[in-house]
Structure 1
Amino acid sequence: MVKQTIQIYARVKPSRRPPGIYSISNEEAAASSLEIIVPRDLADGFVNNKRESYKFRFQETFDQETKQEAIFESIAKPVAESVLTGYNGTIFAYGQTGSGKTFTITGGAERYSDRGIIPRTLSYIFEQLQKDSSKVYTAHISYLEIYNECGYDLLDPRHEASKLEDLPKVTIMEDPEQNIHLKNLSLQPAATEEEALNLLFLGDTNRMIAETPMNQASTRSHCIFTIHISSKEPGSATVRRSKLHLVDLAGSERVAKTGVAGQLLTEAKYINLSLHYLEQVIIALAEKNRSHVPYRNSMMTSVLRDSLGGNCMTTMIATLSIDKRNIDESISTCRFAQRVALIRNEAVLNEETDPQLVIVRLKKEIQALKDEIVLITGEQRTSDLTPDELQRLEEQLHNFLDDVDRDSVLEVGADMRKIHYCFGFFKRFFHEKKSSDSGGSSPERPATTSARPEEMKKLRDLLQQRDNEINILVSMIKKEKRRNQDAAYKIPSTPPRPHTGPKGEGNSVQRGLQDTATPSGGDTRPIALHRKTGA
C-alpha cells in the first residue's frame, strides 16, 4: 500500500501579450513556489486595498518555455511506471478556458514535438511491454466524454452517422461493494502503439469542440481516456489489473466576461456546475471530520471516485494563463490546487486470482471427490477394461515398480476394475519373481523391474495385507447377507417345532430354506476398507 497526497504541478501558458507579473522560485529540492503579483490600478479614483502578492507551493512549476517532453518526464512517466507495476493512476488538468489543458494532455497537431501526455504515455507503455518478456500483458482502451452531464462513448463507430442525441448514453451502475461500472462504454483491445493511437485520434475526432471568445477551439466536454492493463506470469494464477485515467477537463469561464449565449451558454452552465461539484468533493475530502463526500452529485466525480481519495496515485496539472485580464482566474486555479494537495490517497496493488485457473482447479477437485464417493459406496462398473486402458495401466504399473522413490504413489482412480487388476498384477509378479529366485524358468520381464530383497519383502507384506483385506471383505459380505435374511423373514427367537419325519429332517429343511433364500433388494456389494500399510 502506498499512502501519499495528490501531487500538484503548475504550468504557465505562453502568451504573446506582456504577461502579468509573476515569479517562480525553485530553491527547495522537492517543491517550488509561484508568486503572482497583482498590479495596482488607481485609474478608478479610489484607494485599492487588495492584496498585491499571492504565493502558492507546487511540486514543480513549469514556465512558458517548458517543452512537452519535460512535462511528460516529470509528471506522466512516474505515474505510468506505477501503473505497469499494478497500481491505479490518474492525471488530470484543471484551469480556465484557453489556459492550455488540451494542449498539455493531448498535444498539438502542427509538430511531432508537440505531442501531449496521452500519446507519449502510450508510446512509453507499449515500449515497456515489449521489453518485458517475463509476463503476458493485455491492454484495452476506453474513451468517455461527459457533455452536458451525459456520458457518451467516443469510440462508438456510430458517431459519424448519427446525431449525438441518438447515440446510447453511458450510464453509471454501482455494485454492492460500491464499485463503479459504466454501461454502454466499450473496451477496445490494443496490441500495439499504433492501434492505441488510432483509437485516440478516433475519439478526438468525435469530441465536442466549439469556438468561444476565450478560445478558437474550446473543448465543451470533459473527456476521460483510460488505459486498462492486465499482466500475468506464465503458469501463475495471480493476475494484476491496473488502469490509468488521463483526464482533460473542460475549462471554466465567467459568462459575464465572455458574453456567450445560446448553446454555448448552456454548455458553459453545465461545465461550471460540474466543476463546482468537483470542488465540493475536494473540500469534503480535505476536511478530516467530514463523513459524507458528495461523489454522486455529478457523473464526473462518480467516475473519478477512486482517483479522489481512493485507490489511486493521482497527479493534477494546474494550467495558468497569467495575463492581466486573467489574473483572478489564475489565482482561483492555484487556490483550488492547494486544496487538492491536502487529499491523501491509499494506492493498493491490484492483484487477483485468474478465474479461469480457479475453474480448472475446482473441476479437478470435483472429479477427485466424485472418485472418492464411488470408492466409498463400492459402485461397480460392469464393462471390461478396453485394450487401450489395459496397455496404459500396464505402463503405469511398470513405471511405478521402476521408480526408486519410496514416496511415489500409484494412482489408478476409484475404478474397482483397475484396483483388482493391480492386485492380480502384483500377485503374478510376486510368484514369477519367487520362481525366478528359486531357479525356475524366468518369465520375460524388463530388466528395469528387477527388485532387490528389501523390495521383495515389501511386496510380500503388501500382498499379504491385500489378502487379509479381501478375506475381511468376504466375511463382512457373508455377515451382511445373513443379517438381510434375518430381517426379511423375521426369524422368531424360539425355533419352530420340527416337521414329522425322519430324525433331524425338519431342522435340515429349515436350514436349507435359509441357505437358499435370498431377500429381494439385499445389498451384497463389497465395502472398501482403507488401511495404512505397515511397510
Structure 2
Amino acid sequence: MGIEPKVSARQEEEEDHVKVAVRCRPLSQQEHQQGHRAIVQTDEHGKCVAVAHPDNQNQPQKCYLFDELFGPNATQATVYNSLCRPIVENVLRGYNGTIFAYGQTGTGKTYTMSGAGGEGQADGVTQNAFAHIFDHIAKCHQDKRFLVRISYMEIYNEEVRDLLAKQSAAGAQRLDIKERADIGVYVRDLLNVTVASAEQCLRIMQLGNANSQKIQNYYVFAHLFGQMFQGTRAGTNMNEQSSRSHAIFTMTVECAETVKADDGRQLLTQGKLHLVDLAGSERQSKTNATGDRLKEASKINLSLSTLGNVISALADAKSPHIPYRNSKLTRILQDSLGGNSKTAMIANIGPSSYNYEETISTLRYACRAKQIRNIARINEDPKDALLRRFQEEIEQLRKQLEENAEAISDTEAENETDDKKKNKTDEEEEAEGPTDGEQRKKQQQKQLE
C-alpha cells in the first residue's frame, strides 16, 4: 500500500489530555540491605501516590493523583490493558499513538516497555502491542487488508542512530530529522521493515537491541529481576548498567478497506505507534560519571531538560513558544506532545528513601504532563478525505431534499384537506336551498313582473 507520502488528517478531531500513569517497583534486596526504607505508598483504587519525607516524619506526605497507578504487585498485563490497550486500539483505527516511559535509572522503564526477555507474563508493552495488533488483523474480515512496518532508532549523544541498519553503518551513519507539510516530522533514511507477524517483530527488535547502547547486555541481567523490575543500565553508581540513550520503536499500521464491492473503491488509513524508553533522569552527582560517561550524562540531561521545558510550556496556555527544536528527542516527539496523537506516559519510580528527591521530581514532571492536551485525527489518504467530504455533503443534501419533500407533501396534504372542506361546504349550501338573500331577490323580480 505505501501511503505515507500522501496521508492527511481527517477533520473530525478528538481532543484529550495526555494520559499519565505512575508505576512503583518494590524495594530491592540491595536497598533493604543498605538500610534504606520504603517511603512511597500507593492507593491503586484512588489513583493516589503518597511520598513521606525520609528525614522528617512530622512533615505531611506529598500526595499526587494520576489517571492510572500501578503498585509493586501490578503485572505487566495490568499495565498494558489499563493504560496502553486503548492507545493501540486507536492506532488500528488510523490515529497516531505514543507510549513513553520516564523515570530515574533502575525504576523499571525498560522492564515496563520491553519485559524481561522471555515470553508470557514478563512481556512488556512492546511485545503486548505486537500481539494485540496482529491478533486484531487476524480477526478482521476480508474487506480489510493491512500492511505493518516497523522502525527502531535511538538517540545517543544527540545523534539519531538506526538500530536496524547494519552494525557497521549504524555506528557511522547520523540520521537527520526533517519535516514536510504532508507527513510532518520524520527521520530521513530511517529503515522501515515490513513485517507479517508478532514473532517477526520480536526477532527484528532483538536484532536492534544488539546494536543499542541502551539495551546492550540488558537481558543478561533480566533473570535476576524476577518479579522485581529494575530497568536496564550500564556502568555508573546508579546501577550495574546505566540508561545511556533514548530508544524509540515505531510501528506503522496501514489499512485498506473496501467500502464498495461493486466498484472496488478502498479507504486507506494509517496509524503510527511510537513506543519510547527514555534515558534515566537521575542527577549527575549520584552517577559519579567521568569522561565519556559525563559527556553522555550531559547530552541526556539536555534532551530530558528540553522535554521538561516542552511539557511545562504546553502545560502553560500562555506560553508563546514551545521549544521542540532544542533537542532531537523533542523534535521527534513533537506530534506526541500537544499535536496529532493519543499519548500515554508511564512515570516509573522507586520506593527507596535514598531516591526521595528523584521520586518527587518524577512525580512533579508527570503532573505537568497531565495538563498537555492533544488533538488527534484519523490519518487517511487525501483523496479519500476529499471523497469522504463530498459524500458527507451529498448525504447532507439528500437529507435536506427528503426534509423538503416531506414539507412539500405535508403542504399539499393540507391544501387538499382545505379544498375538500371548501367543496363540502358548497355542496351543503346547495343542499340546504337558497339563502334569505336569494329569496328576497326572487320576490322583488316577481313584483316587477
User: Where on the TM-score scale, by shorter chain, does this alignment land: which range?
Assistant: 0.7 to 0.9
Task: Specify the alignment match of 2:194 in structure 1.
Answer: 189
Cα distance in 2 for partners of 1:175, 1:5 equals 26
1:107 CA displacement: 0.9
Of the candidates 266, 281, 303, which is equivalent to residue 310 of structure 2?
281
Give per-residue Cα distances to partners, 1:402-440, cap 9 Å, x unaligned.
xxxxxxxxxxxxxxxxxxxxxxxxxxxxxxxxxxxxxxx
Select the residue among 6, 13, 23 that pairs with 2:41.
Answer: 23
Deviations 1:95-140 (A, max 9, x none): 0111110000011125642111001110110011011023011000
| Residue 354 (structure 1) shift | 6.2
Match of 1:84 in 2: 92
1:176 Cα deviation from its structure 2 partner: 4.6
- Aligned position for 1:247: 276
Counterpart of 1:35?
Answer: 50
Deviation, structure 1 residue 91: 0.2
- Which structure dedicates a bigger proportion of its chain to strand? 2
User: How many residues matched?
Assistant: 343
Deviation at 1:152, TM superposition (A): 0.7
- The one of 265, 270, 286 equivalent to 1:236 is 265
Pairing of 1:38-187 with structure 2 (within 5 A): 38-40=53-55, 51-109=59-117, 112-133=120-141, 134-156=143-165, 158-159=166-167, 161=168, 164=171, 166=172, 168-176=173-181, 179-187=184-192
Corresponding position of 1:211: 235
CA separation in 1, counterparts of 2:102 and 2:366?
Answer: 9
AA matched with 1:223: A
Alpha carbons 1:239, 1:353 under 8 Å: kept: no
2:285 counterpart SS class: helix
Matched AA of 2:268:
V
Relative to 1, partners in 2 of residues 1:26 and 1:182: Cα closer, same or farther, differing over 3 Å?
closer
Normalising to structure 1: TM-score of the pair?
A: 0.61
Structure 2 portions without partners, runs of 5+: 1-12, 215-233, 259-263, 388-449
Query: 1:268 aligned to 288, 293, 297, which one?
Result: 297
Matched, 1:325 2:325: no
Structure 1 counterpart of 2:254, one-letter code: S
Alignment of 1:387-398 (within 5 A): none
Which residue of the partner structure matches residue 513 of structure 1? none
Counterpart of 1:291 in structure 2 is: 320
State the distance in 1 between where 2:238 and 2:137 align: 41
- The letter of the residue matching 1:138 is L
More relative contact order, 1 or 2 (CA 8 Å, 6+ apart) = 2
- CA distance in structure 2 between the aligned counterparts of 1:177 and 1:135, rounded to whole angstroms: 25
Show the 5 A alignment for 1:308-347.
308-347=337-376
**How high is the TM-score relative to the length of structure 2?**
0.73
Q: How far, CA to CA, are the matches of 2:381 and 2:91 in structure 1?
A: 16
The secondary structure found in structure 2 opposite 1:348 is strand
**Shift in alpha-carbon separation, 1:301–1:76, aligned structure 2, 3 A:** same
Percent identity, please.
38
Partner Cα separation in structure 2 for residue 276 and residue 253 of structure 1: 12
Q: CA shift at 1:65, angstroms?
A: 1.2
- CA drift of 1:52 comes to 3.8
Q: Deviations over 1:450-477 (max 9, x none)?
A: xxxxxxxxxxxxxxxxxxxxxxxxxxxx
What is the CA-CA distance between 1:26 and the residue it aligns to?
4.4
Q: Determine if contact 1:230/1:241 at 8 Å carries over to the other structure.
A: yes
Within the alignment, does 1:226 sit opposite 2:247 as a pair? Answer: no
1:8–1:315 CA contact under 8 A, matched in 2: yes
1:352 is displaced (CA, Å) by 1.5
Amino acid aligned to 2:256? K
Ranges of 4+ aligned residues in structure 1 off by more than 6 Å: none
Query: Taking structure 1 as reference, are residues 25 and 194 closer, same or farther at Cα in structure 2, changes over 3 Å only?
Result: closer
Cα distance in 2 for partners of 1:257, 1:63 equals: 25
